[in-house]
């Protein structure tokens, strides 16, 4: 499920990197164009790669760790922006709606944060669960 989510979100962004660039810019993370462009250019493909690994069962724990490393800071950044928008526009937090750049257009922020928490829990579970029979190569270094 985590792999499929990342594959879907990554492919959605890969198809329109310019749009993803515009969305990443809205978070005002950096004034440096090289860093901004690198994030927007590389992150979607990186998501597709990690999603592919998870779906095919290759290096699952490592891929889960990397997806957690992406999910956590991204969720915090989205949360920060939603709080700022709620404050500026005088909206209830769960009424805030915008295109977070996650893939899939505008979302209600509460739904996205709950979804991300669910994905993070799946990621944490994958770190500790036993290797699955259908996985191609569950661990890069043999039995973990």
Q: Which residues bind other proteins (CB under 8 A)?
A: 14-18, 21, 25-28, 31, 33-34, 36-38, 40-46, 49-50, 53, 59, 61-63, 65-66, 69, 81, 84-85, 88-89, 127-131, 139-141, 143-144
C-alpha separations of 137 from 61, 106, 123, 142 in Å: 11, 36, 17, 8
CA atoms within 13 A on the CB side of 44: 22
Of the pair 54, 102, the CB lying nearest other proteins is at: 54
B/e letters for 21-35, b = 16+ CB within 10 Å, e = fewer, are bebbbebeeeeeeee
| Whole-number Å distance between alpha carbons of 130 and 144 | 9
Q: How far is the CB of 58 from other proteins (least distance, A)?
A: 9
Q: 86 in helix, strand or coil?
A: helix
Of the pair 136, 144, the CB lying nearest other proteins is at: 144
Of the pair 42, 114, the CB lying nearest other proteins is at: 42
Of the pair 26, 104, the CB lying nearest other proteins is at: 26
Q: How far is the CB of 111 from other proteins (least distance, A)?
A: 21
Q: How far is the CB of 39 from other proteins (least distance, A)?
A: 10
Q: How far is the CB of 112 from other proteins (least distance, A)?
A: 18
| Whole-number Å distance between alpha carbons of 14 and 77 | 21
| Whole-number Å distance between alpha carbons of 16 and 10 | 10
Q: How far is the CB of 133 from other proteins (least distance, A)?
A: 13
């Amino acid at each position: 499920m985590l792999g499929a989510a990342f594959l879907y979100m990554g492919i959605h962004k890969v198809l329109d990197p310019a749009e993803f660039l515009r969305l990443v810019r809205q978070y005002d993370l950096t004034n440096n164009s090289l860093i901004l462009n690198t994030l927007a250019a590389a992150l979607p493909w990186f998501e597709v790669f990690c999603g592919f690994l998870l779906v095919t069962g290759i290096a699952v724990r490592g891929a889960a760790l990397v997806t957690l490393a992406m999910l956590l800071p991204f969720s915090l950044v989205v949360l920060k922006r939603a709080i700022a928008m709620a404050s500026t526009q005088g909206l209830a937090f769960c009424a805030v709606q915008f295109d977070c750049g996650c893939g899939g257009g505008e979302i209600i922020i509460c739904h996205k944060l709950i979804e991300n928490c669910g994905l993070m829990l799946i990621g944490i579970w994958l770190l500790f669960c036993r290797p699955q029979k259908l996985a191609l190569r569950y661990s890069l270094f043999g039995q973990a």
